Structure 1
Amino acid sequence: MTRLRAVVITAATALVAAAVAAASIGFGGDPPSPGGAPALATAPVTRVTLTRTQQVNGTLGYGTPVRVSARGNGTITALPVLGTLISRGEALYQVDNRPVSLLYGDHPLYRPIQSGDAGWDVNEVEQNLAALGYAGFTVDTTYTASTATAVRKWQKDHGLTQTGVFEPATAVIATGPVRVATVDAQLGDPANGQMLSYSGTTRVVQIPLDVTYQSMARQGSTATVTLPDGTIVPGTVATVGSVAVAGRLAEDPATIDVTVTVADQTRLGTLDRAPVTVSLVAATVENVLTVPVAALVALTDGATGVQVVAGSTNHYVPVELGMFAGGRVQISGDGITEGTLVGIPT
């Protein structure tokens, strides 16, 4: 019999040892040799796709909050209720009974904008005005007299002084609709400090992933999320951080931030800030021959093999090992084909 060295991935070493130990016990403590007694049970070699996963802990919530600070003078006269959903054009809070509205964009406004100005901030304001139904101007990077007219209409509709100059203190820029995560100010406070924080409106799972498992988190790869009640929902790895954060204690591992999204939000019920378990796909091999891990036996020459059963006869075949996953192991060896019956030591 030709001897083949067993090739075992590191994570599966314990499984091999357990399987070999089980085999030895099943055969009276001596490694089996060709022509030994047939196993009491058999299983066919099957061709499948094996996927090995790694379970990690995460938190289900609305993502990392973003702080909002007031940018002007005056007195806070209205604040939102915790958990309120706010969309474009709606007020986040009020100063001196005048709303500070939510607008969409990628960058915060940094200067008063008026006729003759040009830049990306002009385009950001004009895009929002157009989306809110104001017309009569061209959405571009130039603030014209037509833009100023539209701004005056917007100011009138919001009870602001109709100057035609867009003041950055009258709006907060976010990338989309927001959910009020915290309310930090109180009515009557001066409008010159932190007011509140907001998050996204869609729940996600945030994972402080041990850098040891960084290769398992690939943007766009699938994941499964197990909720506190045992419900399992599918997810997708949306973002993978590139900066490692040191643990709070010296013995704590460094981590990277990973975000998993869940398409079907209804499956999440009303959970918020809930601990969850996430299964990340560590590796996948497609269309490979596999047997139950319990089918592995230790051969007399030190190799690992399986007992091939054909009718009333049986013999042992050394095999090469590949991935372990879900109680099965990838194998290859002489005469090993799909449907081959192998013994299961008992």
Structure 2
Amino acid sequence: MIAAGAAVVLAAGTTGWAVWSNAQLQPDAATTPAQTTVEVVSGDMVAETLASGKLQYSFTLPVIAGTGGTVTEVPPVGATVAAGGILYRIDTRPVILMRGAAPAWRDFSADMTRGEDVRQLEANLKGFGFFAGEPDDRFTRDTSAAVRAWQKSLGVEQTGTVSRSTLLFTDRDLRVSALDTRVGAQVGEGTPLYSATGTEQTVLLNMKSTDRGLAVPGTPVTVALPTGTDVEGVVGTVDDPVEQPAADGTGTSVVIPVRIDLLSQEALGGLALSTVTVRFASTLQEDALTVPIDALLPLDDDTFAVELPGRAADGGRALVPVAVGAFASGNVAISGDGIEVGTDVVVPRR
């Protein structure tokens, strides 16, 4: 990934007010470039810092065998497994994905003690349509009956109990990214079967340490896709600075790893693992009066003016000195006598 780089210039100056006649200041008509006018507008001066990043799936998770035996089913690469779906089968017995943050650390049966893992199991069975009550932390006869009904739907033995090796709790759906085994393979407990990721993509990038202030969690950003589409996002996490080899191969540089969360996965349109450009916006000046940069005319090394049509005593053009503020995106903030929203200023004709 390429570190971010900023292209923002600040300038300021003050001066008095003066007017010169068009005849005194303008060159011969034969050498005067074609000109037109634009209006002074009001708004925040916003600069953009660009960073190159890459779309990545949100996390990785190894799916390992909960018991030994023959692999009789694994999903294909790219498949998505949702809550209630089959992660794999060993000796034809399915292992099921359930929603939850706590791992399955013990078997579920009527003689077990209370626990939040029971509530988690019941919440899933309720979501699947097999548990009618309000999930709690007790494994009761109602829980066992719901388990048997669920087991019947899976086509497995209806014991009313659940082995921890037949469940995997996660807080989101999984996407199969790479297989480590195949159907027919003999595996032992703990053998990696495949690698999985989240189904949502984020953007990972490295920012220059000098741009660290732009990457604040929750800050809105715009992500430009290689398809020409923009997707809105927010800064998710900002990690501690790390060293990486410098781009020119001489020494190292310090970068800040940043994760960008996207507000719309659908906007990606199936795009995956692609290089994107992230635009960080920063406000340089609020409620500024702005004109295009090429409206500025240098009077000396420190003083600028803008040209106003019809303001000279003879009705021609007049130069009005202005104080110059922030520059951004081809525009500049100005202030001066007679400068207000809607004032026409002269610019070269494009």
TM-score interval, normalised by the smaller of the two chains: 0.7 to 0.9
Q: 2:341 aligns with which of 320, 338, 341?
A: 338
Q: Which amino acid aligns with 2:64?
A: S
TM-aligned CA distance change 1:137 to 1:34, over 3 Å: closer
Alpha-carbon contact 1:224-1:232 (below 8 Å) kept: no
Mapped pair 1:205 → 2:203: yes
Once the two structures are TM-superposed, the CA of residue 54 in structure 1 deviates from its matched residue by 1.5
Mapped pair 1:166 → 2:154: no
Partner of 2:15: none
Q: Which amino acid aligns with 2:167?
A: A
Q: 2:229 aligns with which of 225, 232, 248?
A: 232
TM-aligned CA distance change 1:285 to 1:174, over 3 Å: farther
Return the alpha-carbon distance in structure 2 between the equivalents of residues 87 and 77 of structure 1: 20
Partner of 1:319: 323
Return the alpha-carbon distance in structure 2 between the equivalents of residues 70 and 286 of structure 1: 58
* Aligned residue runs from structure 1 range 51-200, under 5 A: 51-115=46-110, 116-187=112-183, 188-191=185-188, 192-200=190-198
Alpha-carbon contact 2:83-2:98 (below 8 Å) kept: yes
TM-aligned CA distance change 1:169 to 1:238, over 3 Å: farther
Once the two structures are TM-superposed, the CA of residue 170 in structure 1 deviates from its matched residue by 0.7
Return the alpha-carbon distance in structure 2 between the equivalents of residues 212 and 95 of structure 1: 53
Taking structure 2 as the reference length, the TM-score comes to 0.79
Higher strand share: 2
Helix, strand or coil at the partner of 1:278: strand
TM-aligned CA distance change 1:107 to 1:200, over 3 Å: same
TM-aligned CA distance change 1:147 to 1:284, over 3 Å: farther
Runs of 4+ with deviation above 6 angstroms: none
Once the two structures are TM-superposed, the CA of residue 264 in structure 1 deviates from its matched residue by 5.9
Q: 2:43 aligns with which of 19, 42, 48?
A: 48
Helix, strand or coil at the partner of 1:128: helix
- Residues 287-306 of structure 1: per-residue CA shift (max 9 Å, x gap): 42101112234343724443
- Superposition RMSD in Å: 3.0
Partner of 1:253: 254
Partner of 2:291: 291
Partner of 1:11: 8
Q: Which amino acid aligns with 2:186?
A: D
**Equivalences, count:** 318
Deviates more, 1:175-184 or 1:280-289: 280-289
- Residues 238-293 of structure 1: per-residue CA shift (max 9 Å, x gap): 5123434432565233222312315262x433322111212222336554210111
Once the two structures are TM-superposed, the CA of residue 161 in structure 1 deviates from its matched residue by 4.5
Return the alpha-carbon distance in structure 2 between the equivalents of residues 339 and 179 of structure 1: 55
In structure 1, stretches of 5+ residues that fail to align are 1-8, 18-32
Partner of 1:214: 212
Alpha-carbon contact 1:69-1:195 (below 8 Å) kept: yes
Return the alpha-carbon distance in structure 1 between the equivalents of residues 210 and 157 of structure 2: 57
Alpha-carbon contact 1:299-1:318 (below 8 Å) kept: no
TM-aligned CA distance change 1:90 to 1:206, over 3 Å: same
Alpha-carbon contact 2:320-2:336 (below 8 Å) kept: no
Return the alpha-carbon distance in structure 1 between the equivalents of residues 162 and 210 of structure 2: 49
Helix, strand or coil at the partner of 1:246: strand
TM-aligned CA distance change 1:113 to 1:284, over 3 Å: farther
Alpha-carbon contact 2:239-2:256 (below 8 Å) kept: no
TM-aligned CA distance change 1:130 to 1:206, over 3 Å: same
Q: Which amino acid aligns with 1:226?
A: A
Return the alpha-carbon distance in structure 2 between the equivalents of residues 300 and 238 of structure 1: 44
Helix, strand or coil at the partner of 2:212: helix
TM-aligned CA distance change 1:121 to 1:209, over 3 Å: farther
Return the alpha-carbon distance in structure 1 between the equivalents of residues 245 and 152 of structure 2: 52
Return the alpha-carbon distance in structure 1 between the equivalents of residues 41 and 64 of structure 2: 61
In structure 2, stretches of 5+ residues that fail to align are 1-5, 13-17, 27-31
Return the alpha-carbon distance in structure 1 between the equivalents of residues 268 and 277 of structure 2: 13
Return the alpha-carbon distance in structure 1 between the equivalents of residues 50 and 235 of structure 2: 17
Alpha-carbon contact 1:221-1:281 (below 8 Å) kept: no
* Aligned residue runs from structure 1 range 268-283, under 5 A: 268-283=268-283
Once the two structures are TM-superposed, the CA of residue 53 in structure 1 deviates from its matched residue by 1.5
